[in-house]
């Protein structure tokens, strides 16, 4: 029983967590009640039973429905605070948190409400929990690049409250190159750049995320193992992949956890990390991802140390601050 204990207790950074995907059914019902928002489920149990996904889109439909209860700054604070307390319990000492502003501004929620609520929780995490937390604004790739530009414009008054931008939502049919201009603008602004690529989509989307968007990390990226030349590129350039094993299992990217390619990525010398993605929907927070994946695939203590180390190496903590995590 020493390996599970090591996995639970080792300090780690979480680099791939959608804050809207941390909203537990109990909190969805509580916010629906206090905000007078109708939801098409009779109970927490009935909602949880609907969490049976066949692919990314089947999940996204219910994830956007869940997020519709978020109205006030307090809602955004409470959601992020609940996640950060869970993260502290998993010995997460650094969290880089995705949020999807377009999911909220499209319903009439102000950008200021979203960012201030989330950012206040991040500040409180530092002071009360000793967890360093930063925000990454994600553009929804099923929407247009013009809408991404508008979203960036709306967020720029709060430029100091997020450290980077990402790209998420429905991948297939919405390749990275659709967002080349807005990512170029974000780069000029000094924002960190990441994108989901190679979750369900082909290795070609990982190539264009790297070469056209110039991302510093690839979110998921597990389809890269289908392209040996891409694997060499990722290894040589030390491009981190933020892998989310339970997400891949629940969205049927791999039929069983035993079939996950995390070991193959590590063996090829890639900087893979383990993350939770949407923990309220996929059956576990980051330690559940570590424990279940190690159990299913037989990874070692040495690989646990490697993954924890990779998480800090891949994080956007300033370089001089990084030394203290080594």
Indicate which of ligand ES4, Zn ion, none lies near residue 297 (CB less than 5 to 8 Å, by partner kind): none
- Give the side-chain half-sphere CA count within 13 A for 215: 29
Footprint on residues 24-53 left by Zn ion (CB under 5 A): none
Our CB check for ligand ES4 shows the closer of 223 and 317 to be 223
- CB distance 182 to 138 below 8 Å: no
Question: What does each C-alpha distance from 142 to 102, 147, 172, 200 come to in angstroms?
Answer: 11, 10, 9, 14
Q: Among this protein's residues, is 14 annotated catalytic?
A: no
A 10 A CB-CB count for 163 gives 17
By CB under 6 A, residue 197 contacts ligand ES4:
no
- CB distance 207 to 174 below 8 Å: no
Residue 219 C-alpha from the chain's centroid: 7
Question: For residue 243, which of 254, 233, 229 has the smallest C-alpha distance?
Answer: 254
Footprint on residues 60-89 left by ligand ES4 (CB under 6 A): 63
What is the pattern of x (binds ligand ES4, CB under 6 A) and - over residues 252-281?
-------------------------xx---
Rounded to whole angstroms, the Cα distance separating 264 from 244 reads 15
**Is 142 among the annotated ligand-binding positions?**
no
**Is 278 among the annotated ligand-binding positions?**
yes
For ligand ES4, the binding residue among 242, 247, 287, 311 (CB under 6 A) is 247
CB of 114 to ligand ES4, least distance (A): 15
By CB under 5 A, residue 277 contacts Zn ion:
yes
By CB under 6 A, residue 18 contacts ligand ES4:
yes
Question: What does each C-alpha distance from 322 to 130, 193, 272, 316, 318 come to in angstroms?
Answer: 15, 19, 18, 9, 6
Our CB check for ligand ES4 shows the closer of 80 and 304 to be 80
**Is 277 among the annotated ligand-binding positions?**
yes
Our CB check for Zn ion shows the closer of 71 and 274 to be 274
- CB distance 80 to 99 below 8 Å: no
**Which positions ≥6 away from 268 have C-beta within 8 Å?**
225, 231, 235
Q: Which residues bind ligand ES4 (CB under 6 A)?
A: 18, 21, 56, 63, 168-169, 196, 199, 247, 277-278
**Applying CB under 5 A, which residues contact Zn ion?**
277
Residues forming the active site: 199
For the annotated binding site for Zn(2+), the residues are 16, 18, 196, 277
């Amino acid at each position: 029983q020493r390996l599970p204990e090591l996995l639970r207790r080792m300090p780690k950074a979480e680099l791939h967590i959608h804050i809207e995907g941390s909203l537990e059914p109990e909190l969805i019902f509580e916010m629906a009640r206090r905000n007078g928002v109708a939801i098409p489920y009779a109970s927490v149990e009935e909602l949880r039973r609907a969490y049976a996904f066949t692919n990314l889109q089947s999940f996204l439909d219910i994830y956007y429905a869940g997020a519709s209860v978020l109205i006030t700054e307090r809602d955004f604070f409470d959601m992020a605070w609940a996640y950060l307390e869970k993260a502290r319990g998993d010995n997460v000492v650094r969290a880089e948190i995705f949020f999807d502003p377009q999911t909220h501004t499209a319903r009439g929620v102000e950008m200021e409400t979203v960012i201030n609520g989330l950012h206040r929780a991040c500040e409180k995490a530092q002071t009360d929990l000793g967890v360093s937390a930063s925000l990454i604004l994600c553009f929804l790739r099923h929407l247009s690049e013009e809408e991404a530009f508008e979203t960036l414009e709306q967020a720029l008054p709060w430029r100091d409250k997020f450290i980077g931008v990402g790209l998420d939502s429905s991948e297939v049919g919405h390749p990275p190159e659709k967002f080349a201009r807005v990512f170029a603008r974000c780069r000029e602004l000094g924002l960190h750049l990441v994108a989901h690529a190679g979750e369900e989509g082909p290795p070609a989307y990982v190539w264009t995320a790297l070469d056209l968007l110039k991302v510093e990390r690839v979110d998921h990226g597990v389809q890269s193992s289908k392209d040996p030349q891409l694997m060499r590129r990722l290894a040589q350039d030390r491009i981190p992949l933020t892998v989310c094993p339970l997400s891949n299992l629940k969205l049927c990217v791999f039929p069983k956890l035993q079939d996950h390619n995390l070991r193959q990525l590590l063996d090829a010398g890639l900087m893979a990390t383990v993350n939770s993605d949407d923990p309220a929907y996929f059956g576990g927070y980051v330690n559940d991802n570590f424990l279940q994946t190690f159990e299913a695939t037989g990874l070692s203590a040495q690989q646990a140390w490697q993954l924890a180390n990779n998480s800090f190496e891949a994080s956007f903590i300033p370089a001089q601050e990084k030394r203290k995590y080594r």
